[in-house]
Amino acid sequence: MNEKLASLATRKQALIQKAALQRTVLAQNMQALQHPIAIVDRGLQVLSYFRQYPVLMLGVTTISGILIRRLQMARFTALLQTGWSVFQLVRDVRESLRKE
């Protein structure tokens, strides 16, 4: 009986070490995916925000289409970056007001 318990204890230790090694390898592999996952997560947050305000989504789509046709692409890109910064600022202010 002691031999069986000893073999089980040895097997348990081997499995624990194997699991620890697998966790380490998984953590290393996930580091490479951390940035792309963060971008996708941010995109999903933006989509959920626009789902809450469908009129805003319609307005952004319409204005974007008009600006792409009227402005040169470089100017539109700069305008889009500014708009995104304003959007983030308004959202952060709104969240801070909700907390208070």
- The tens-digit pLDDT sequence of the chain (100 residues) is 688 888 999 999 999 999 999 999 998 888 888 888 888 888 888 888 878 887 887 888 888 777 777 777 677 778 778 888 888 888 888 888 877 6
pTM of the model: 0.40
Three-state SS sequence of the chain: CHHHHHHHHHHHHHHHHHHHHHHHHHHHHHHHHHHHHHHHHHHHHHHHHHHHCHHHHHHHHHHHHHHHHHCCHHHHHHHHHHHHHHHHHHHHHHHHHHHC
- pLDDT of the residue at 13: 95
Same structural domain, 1 and 47: yes
Same structural domain, 7 and 48: yes
Looking at 52, 71, 89, the residue that finishes a domain is 52
Domain count within the chain:
2
Same structural domain, 26 and 73: no
Same structural domain, 70 and 43: no
- pLDDT of the residue at 1: 64
Range of the domain at 21: 1-52
